[in-house]
Structure 1
């Protein structure tokens, strides 16, 4: 018999699959319903794992809620709502960084992570730069900095704890952001959502699941 946690994970991934179909078909109501369902599921997963009773879990839960808010804003293609969406996701990245810092981040591992991610972040920003105008250059630049920091903290925390769920989830989240950027600024194509959406939801599930693996040590 499936556990409640397993049912929630399946519900999240099933809703994600429905979302991909709705994106392909251009079904806007179905897109909204399936996206909100999938995002609500990863928040529910954190709650099922007793996130509110653990210091690490509470910060992860806050990050997941911010991601949920960002998902709702990104249902619209309007510039103002898109900016609110990336602001929510930027704050989610900051919250994830804070959560990873609770695990413990050795300075050498953090510096290595920062160096590696800075190179990747700079490369992505250079690729996007010509597709961005004034304000978006500032907004996307700040967003890339938040992603670099989150991944660096995740890598350092994983090195310290031996639990590579943190780095895996953070990097998957960061890579999924590339699909959003490409879809918004470079080429609006279904292929971006085809791989980006599943990667994003898998990342959120992984980060939620990290609660049961590392929260006890840092509560």
Structure 2
């Protein structure tokens, strides 16, 4: 299952991992693609995938694919990032996807590569509505467990790119997190969200989220 990296403040990661993330973000900012690709490949070997990493506590929210769009990187670089699992639908702090950055700057050659190709089609309005309820649920649940770490909350659109349409959001200080699954049902699509704290017995809850709201369907597991 893919993992959403939602740490929004420095000092949460250990020094080595923070430095690794900083080096990757710096290399992408410079357009040093050899360093970026090497870092991405190393992280995949360690099962600590950083291809969609954003600078911790950064203002832009840009991942390497956004930087590739900005720099008009060679197509081979973009293709290797995509092969490594870069998300075309990931939005920046300004709500831009990599394809939007390339379009804005006139980097037309990259547009066919960067155009999102969802495996699971959901109307944009439905995704945004479900994301609204998902974020509200996460805020309530993390507050219940006393989480004080600044978080960058998951983007529902990313689920449309993933073969299993599933994300794990590990929350620092919660000793657990949120498993988020996009499912097809007769009425359309919904999110199934399972959350728990492993040091609190029977804390597990399952919620179903549709564009119309969020419903608790199971608790105490």
| Fold match (TM-score > 0.5) | no
Greater helix content: 1
* Greater relative contact order, per chain length (Cα 8 Å cut-off, separation 6+): 1
TM (normalized to structure 1)? Answer: 0.30
Greater strand content: 2
